[in-house]
A and B are shown apart, each in its own frame.
Chain A
Amino acid sequence: MSCSRLDEVRQALTAGQWPQASAPELRAHVETCARCSQEVLITQHLQLARAEAVASAHPGTPSLLWLRAQARRRTAALERAGRPLAAAQIFALVLVAATVLGMVASHWRGLVDHALSAEGAPTFSLTALVGDWGMVPLLVAFAAITTLGGVVVYLSAERP
């Protein structure tokens, strides 16, 4: 359902010319056209409701919203900046876990024997470790401590 004069009616309604300032011939058309009279009925009611709602609106001050937005922007920026550090943290943890698991997997029999023997404490020394694995465990541990240490320093300095 459409009408060729609908745009004219809409224009008159939008410009606030309806009904007094619009042509009598257009008014006569609206009385006989179902589509245009529907448009007038709904638009007039909703425009009145809008005027009423706008008059009763009590928006707060914009400065509070401005400050809230600033705080949210800053939080978002910090979160974004913290993402690479979180990734480094996870990487370091995975590295440490993998090293520990690797060492346990390769020495599990010796560890079990030590645990089961009644001869006292296991003979686990740094020299033996370096002999078995070369410098790999020490390098990994050093890298992990360095990364985690950096993260800890950053978090304690930047986060409230």
Chain B
Amino acid sequence: MNWEDAIPSIAIAQAARVTEPAMDSDQFAAFYERSAKPLWAYLARASGNAALADDLMQESYVRFLCAGFPGDGEVASRRYLFRIASNLLRDHWRRPRALPLDELPEDRSAARDTSAQTESRLMLSPALAKMRPRDRQLLWLAHAENYSHREIAEITGIASPSIRLLLFRARREMARLLGKERA
């Protein structure tokens, strides 16, 4: 125990400095504006539960701010945010099972549909619902968010060499399920 620890006011001031957010409220508002919807989309599709996605998204941002991530620009901050969200998702999956994707409320999933979207949703939702949560997560990060294998490894905490194999299997399974739905 050093002498600063014995004086609460100094310790509080230091702790506050250490946990100071890396961005001010205006910067955060702008970052939130750009990243909230893609993050929600990821959480909603990977978890299959819109209400859960709302909760996890809020918790992700609060943890992001508390961590005071001194990210090197928007891309790194966004990747860090997705990493927090992925950890929260993983914690959720360790608890009781999530609702299947076809239980996503209609008003949240069918807003402003085009015919292509409707057709795609009719095929994709049942296919995604049959997949394992981790496969859904990997496919989303790779194909919807266009992250590289290295970035996906960073976000999910899975070793980079495993990502290639897991994605290969997930893609094959997804293609099989989509083919089945089409037939």
Contacts and interface: CB of A to CB of B under 8 A. Distances in A.
- Same complex for A and B? Answer yes
Interface of A: 1, 14, 38-39, 41-57, 59-60, 62-63, 65-66, 68-70, 72-74, 76-78, 80-85, 87, 154, 158
B37 A76 contact: no
Interface in B1-47: 1, 5-6, 8, 11-12, 15-16, 19, 21, 25, 28-29, 32-33, 36-38, 40-41, 44-45
A52 B61 contact: no
A10 B61 CA distance: 31
A65 B12 contact: no
A78 B13 CA distance: 10
B116 interface: yes
Contacts of A69: 21, 61-62, 65-66
Nearest to B35: A59
A80 B65 CA distance: 18
A82 B58 CA distance: 28
Given A45-B178, A48-B117, A55-B111, A65 B61 contact: yes
A63 B8 contact: no
B65 A66 contact: yes
A53 B41 contact: yes
A65 B172 CA distance: 39
A49 B29 contact: no
Given A62-B28, A77-B15, A77-B19, A45 B8 contact: no
A158 B11 CA distance: 13
Contacts of B162: none
A44 B182 CA distance: 14
Interface of B: 1, 5-6, 8, 11-12, 15-16, 19, 21, 25, 28-29, 32-33, 36-38, 40-41, 44-45, 57-58, 61-62, 65-66, 107-113, 116-117, 120-121, 123-124, 128, 139-140, 143-146, 168, 171-172, 174-175, 178
Nearest to A91: B1
Contacts of B57: 59
A47 B15 contact: no
A57 B42 CA distance: 11
A76 B66 contact: yes
Contacts of A154: 8
A74 B38 CA distance: 29
Residue from B29, B65, B108 whose CB has the most chain A CB atoms within 10 Å: B65
A80 B4 CA distance: 12
15 contacts: A41-B175, A43-B143, A49-B124, A52-B117, A53-B40, A55-B112, A56-B109, A57-B36, A57-B40, A62-B32, A63-B25, A65-B61, A65-B65, A73-B66, A158-B8
